[in-house]
Structure formats: structure tokens, C-alpha cells
Chain A
Amino acid sequence: MAEIDRDKLLDIYTRTMKVNRTDEKFRELLMGGKVAVMYYCVRGQELVSAAAMAALEKDDYVVCTYRGQGEQTAKGIPMEKWWGECLGKATGTCKGKGGTMHITDPETGIMVTTGVVGSGLPIANGLAMASQNNGDGRVTLVSFGDGAANIGGFHEAMNMAQLYKLPVVFLCQNNRYGEHTAYADHTDSPNIASRAAGYGMPGVTVDGNDVNQIYPAVKEAVDRARRGEGPTLVEAMCYRMMGHFFGSDFSYMPPEHIAEMKAEDPLPKLRKVMLEHQFTEEELDKIVADIDAQINAAVEHALAAPLPDTDEIYKDVLEETA
């Protein structure tokens, strides 16, 4: 596998830190009581989302889940719109009508964020089917967790994607928990990627905390899809370092699991790779400081933004009510 070049590394680092700093900021706001909304933390999974988004082109489509902050911010949704939506404001991507679990921003390719586990895969097939029909060359990437691998839609979608050789990438972020249930308590097969063989599809399991594994794996899957060779299942092993949603109890995570995931934290590992590639501490710190400044400005903008008009509840139901 070819070495990731410096420009791409910098791109991945920047996206990763954007995801991480957004997550940190969200938790700070929630803990401080500044906002009270559902939020699904992505701490520990930043690199998987960032590397995957860095492997896509700007026009490519993404379908993600309620734990989709990583894909959304790394794909490039303008921060003011993203925060506006998360805080339920009129300035949000969806005028405050979707919320944290239903962020949609077609301009940056975030086509659906579903709140239903596993429902994104069949929809991703449709986006890819449109690209196959009209030859626009786009690839669709759908992100989901290990929990989604056990719902019927996963199997239906995988079979259909392979049948039609759809330009789609199935990215399973195996964070070892389906909601509050540990992997071993919901699945007996050693990994998810091996299921791909059952559909005649390539499947690969990689370390999602290692940029040199996750980026090339997704990039190869994206390239393959774009060449018209069909779908790939990429399983990125990672850790969800928080509970299922912000504020939820995660005492069910055993201490040895917590120690293991701290040792595998993708952020220090990525920083080490950056330093090995002759980026300086100062350069990397400056990137984070710039991101923090952007996030702070976006949060201030969102906090000050107007609430949606009450009559929005009647709008966008059908075209006639648009």
C-alpha cells in the first residue's frame, strides 16, 4: 500500500481534529448546562470518520447515523449551520427541524442522517443506483456501527449492492458496542467484514486507530467503486470512549476495556505519525487553535441565532405545504 503523502496526512489530521474539537466543545456545553439536547459522542472514533471523508471527493454522497458528527463535520458542513441545527435554530442545516440525529446538507453530500440503526445502508444503495443510472461518477459511502450488522436491512442492502455492482462503500465502525450491549453479547462471529464473502463482496477489517490502515482501506474501496467494480465492506475497529449517548451510564464497560481503549486512542497515535512526517508541534497546535476559534465563533453564532418560527411545524410536510 502506497505511503500517504504529506498533504493528505495534513488533510486527515485537520479533519480529525475538527471532529475531536467539535465533540469536546459539545460535551463542554452539555456539561455546563448551556444546551440540553441529545448528543452521541464520537470520542475515540474521530480518525475513522476523518480518514473516510478524506478518501471521498467533494461531490460524493454520504449517509450516516445519529453518531454522525464525525462524517458531517469532516465532510465539511459549514460549522455555523451544523451548530445551528444541533441547537435547534432557524439557521441550522434543516431549519432546526431535523436536529442532532437528522443532519442533512446536500451541498456537502450529507444526504441522510438516520436515527434508525441499519436504515442507512438500503438508502445508500439508492444514491449509488442513481449514480450508476446517470453516470455521474459519484461514490456513496454509508457509515454504521457493529450493531447495524445484525439488522435485516444490512443483509438486504449488501446483497443488492453486490448484485448490481453499485458504487457504494459500506463502512462499519466497529466500536465494540451496539447501544449498551458489548459486541460479544450481540454477535458470535469474530468480525463483521467476513460477512461480505457471503454476498460475493470483498470485505476487510482494519485498525481504525491507525491512519496507515484506515485511510488506504477506504481509499481503495472508494476507487474500486468509482471504477465500476462494485461495493466493499470496510470494517474499522475502533473504540467508543463514552456511553451510547451523552450523559448515559457506561459503567457496563469493564475497566480492562477502558484501559485498552485509552492505550489505543487514535489522537496521540496520529500526532506521532504527523511528527514522524516532520510536522512540528507548533504547526499541529496552530491547526487545533484555529479550529477551536472557528468552533467558538460558530457556537456563539448558533447560540445567538433565532429560533424557528412556530408555523414551521406545518411546512415541508408535502410540496403543497413547502
Chain B
Amino acid sequence: MAQITMTQALNLAIDEAMAEDDGVFCLGEDVSAKQGGGVFKVTSGLTEKYGEHRIRATPISETAIIGAAVGAALAGQRPIAEIMLMNFVGVCMDQIVNHAAKLRFMSGGQTPCPIVIRTTTGVGVGFGGQHSDMLEAWFAHVAGIHVVTPSNPADARGLMRASIDANDPVIFIENILCYGLKAEDPGPGYRVPLGKAAIAREGSDISIITYGRTVLDALAVADDLAKEGISVEVIDLRTIAPYDEETVLASVRKTGRALTLHEAVRPFGTGAEIAANIQEKCWDSLKGPVRRIGGTFSAVPFASHLEQAWIPQKSDIVAQIKASVGKH
């Protein structure tokens, strides 16, 4: 099989879904051929195949974009709406939280809202405070939404197909630093079920529960620590909410130790919810407190060395693991 980047993986998944179902269409800022197929090229080449009605370049109007996606979904279509950068969800939270997430429930099940909201973010590219945040916890706190993020091209392809299939809203977070990752193409029709975590690396001393770009950090740390005789299990949640509790708890019961890791700021982050849940349900298996690592509790800074200092450090992951397993 050919090697593909994560950008290509997403493009292939959207392309095949559009080919199979006329009701699937994309809308968002700069997504059509006239603007170059999206600022990160994910919708590149699709306007030529499906026309401007199905790759709709929109005005810079996030509320109108998500509102239109909600309405189209109520009418039976499957819109893929792009919010160019995740911080811009601040402009359209009403449509996502009060409408997309709640319309199935408030209508007594009559109006499900199958939309995929693609959005991009990531710390480490010098975008500063309003273009970098991981805001998954905002959505994980809302009933009626799936929150998904891939850490590699194969999952990107499979999760995107599953997200388009889903009959509920999905916030699909793409990390800018992962777009260029290359891996083997899992091929047409490949799906990764929502709500199913992957054990990215098996281990026996501690479980790291993470997702998105920090999966790469966790795997790198696990490689290094293996040389020191510490066996790290890495769980890639893939779906952040509702998350695969079964896989997480089974892993922690096996290793007896847990560390949650995310790029988003630590206070009130998803790691806190997962840690609390582990402590409630795996108390008797735990050999120590669940540890948490997240981004610094400040706005993402601009200057490169500040930005690099802001993100969770591999050295900190190593230190936390060593403290947990009792090796210094």
C-alpha cells in the first residue's frame, strides 16, 4: 500500500464519502478550488469533482456556517463544516452547543443533527494566543457531541469516514503538526469506530492516556524509558468524548499506574475527568495517584522558545513516570 500524509488521508475519506452519498457536502472559509482547496489543502481537488454547491466557500461567518450545517443536517444532508482554526469556535458556540448538540434530545429524537465540524489547531507553529488552543474540553462537557482527534494518517482516514457516517455532531480536531505525518494508507472504505481507543503501545508499568499530537511524545518517551527497563503502555483515545472507558480502565487495572497527557491546559482539562474516573473505578488496582500533564495555564505565547516552554515537555513526562513507578 502507498504512503499517505494525514492531509491526504482526510481528503481521501471526504472524497469517497462524497462519491457514495450526494447528501455529503463541505462548507467553510476558503475550502473551494478558487481559494486553493482549504488553507491546509484538505479539500483540495474536490471542487473539480463535485462542484461549488458541494464544496461551498463561505464568507467569514462562523455562526452562519455552523447554522447552515445544522439546518442542512435537519433536512437529511450530511454537511462537513470547516472552522478554519479551533479558537474561532468562540464565534459560533451557540450554534454548536445550544443547537447541534441539543436538537436530537430537545425534539425527543425527531431531529438528529449529523454534522462533522472539522477544525484545526496546534501549539508549536508560532500562531500565538488566538490560533493555537486545544479546546476539546469545552465540547467534552456538552452532552450530544462526539469529540474526535486522530494522531496518525490511518486513523485520520478511518475516523473521518466514521464521523461522516455518525448520526450526531462530531467535532473533528486536526493538529497542524500532524498534517505532514506519513503512514501506510489503510485503503478505501476504512473506518475506525467512534468511541474506540487504540493501544498505541503495550506496556506493563504505567498507562499514559492521551490523544492527538501528544501520542507522538508519549511513544517517544516510551521508547526511551524501555531502555531503562520501564514498560509504558500508551492509549490513544482517538475519540475524546464519549471516550472508551473500558479500554482505559482495563489498561490501568493491568499497570496499576496512570498518567493523563494533553496539549490543552491542565486545569479542568479532559485529563482531570479521566483521572477522577480512574480513581473512582480502579482504586484497588492503583499503586499511586493518577498524574496529569497538560499545557501551561496561560495563553499560548508567540516567541518560539516561550511556545516550546509552554507545551508539555518530554522531560516532564519522563519525570512524572519515574516518580510514579518509583525510579529516579
- Using a CB–CB cutoff of 8 Å, the interface residues on chain A facing chain B are 61, 63, 92-98, 102, 104-106, 111-112, 114-116, 119, 121-134, 140, 152-153, 156-157, 159-160, 163-164, 315-320, 322
Contacts and interface: CB of A to CB of B under 8 A. Distances in A.
Given A97-B108, A102-B107, 9 more contacts: A96-B108, A104-B106, A106-B74, A122-B71, A130-B74, A131-B75, A133-B23, A133-B53, A164-B56
B28 interface: no
A128 B77 CA distance: 11
B105 interface: yes
Contact of A104 (B58, B71, B107): B107
A125 B106 contact: no
B73 A316 contact: no
B73 A98 contact: no
A163 B61 CA distance: 12
A125 B108 contact: no
Interface in B64-81: 64, 66-77, 79
Interface stretch (B93-101, B272-280, B285-293): B93-101
Query: Which A-B residue pairs are the 7 nearest by beta carbons?
Result: A122-B67, A126-B71, A130-B75, A95-B108, A156-B64, A94-B108, A104-B107
B63 interface: yes
Given A112-B111, A157-B64, A123 B104 contact: no
A130 B23 CA distance: 8
Interface residues of B, number: 47
Contact of B111 (A106, A115, A130, A315): A106
Contacts of A95: 108-109
Contacts of B166: 319
Given A153-B67, A157-B64, A119 B108 contact: no
Given A104-B107, A134-B22, A122 B95 contact: yes
B113 to A, nearest CB: 10
15 contacts: A94-B106, A104-B110, A106-B111, A111-B75, A119-B99, A123-B99, A126-B74, A127-B72, A134-B23, A153-B67, A156-B59, A317-B104, A318-B146, A318-B242, A319-B167
Contact of A94 (B22, B58, B107): B107
B250 interface: no
Contacts of A317: 104-105, 143-144
A298 B143 CA distance: 33
B69 A126 contact: yes
Contacts, number: 159
Given A97-B106, A104-B106, A318-B168, A119 B67 contact: yes
A129 B72 contact: yes
Contacts of A122: 63-64, 66-68, 70-71, 95
A121 B67 contact: yes
B64 A160 contact: yes
Given A132-B53, A160-B58, A316-B108, A116 B94 contact: yes
Nearest to A153: B63
Among A93, A104, A124, the one with the most B-chain Cβ atoms within 10 Å of its Cβ is A104
Contacts of B144: 317-318
Contacts of B195: 320
Contacts of B168: 318-319
B139 to A, nearest CB: 13
Contacts of A316: 104-105, 107-109
Contacts of A98: 106-108
Interface in B104-123: 104-112
A119 B94 contact: yes
Contacts of B62: 156
A163 B98 CA distance: 26
A25 to B, nearest CB: 23
B25 interface: yes
B167 to A, nearest CB: 4
A133 B108 contact: no
Contacts of B67: 119, 121-123, 125-126, 153, 156-157
Given A116-B98, A130-B75, A133-B77, A160 B68 contact: yes
B176 interface: no
A61 B72 CA distance: 11
B156 to A, nearest CB: 22
Interface in B38-74: 53-54, 56, 58-59, 61-64, 66-74
B79 A126 contact: yes
A152 B72 CA distance: 20
Nearest to B74: A111
B103 interface: yes
B106 A126 contact: no
A317 B62 CA distance: 24
A318 B112 CA distance: 8
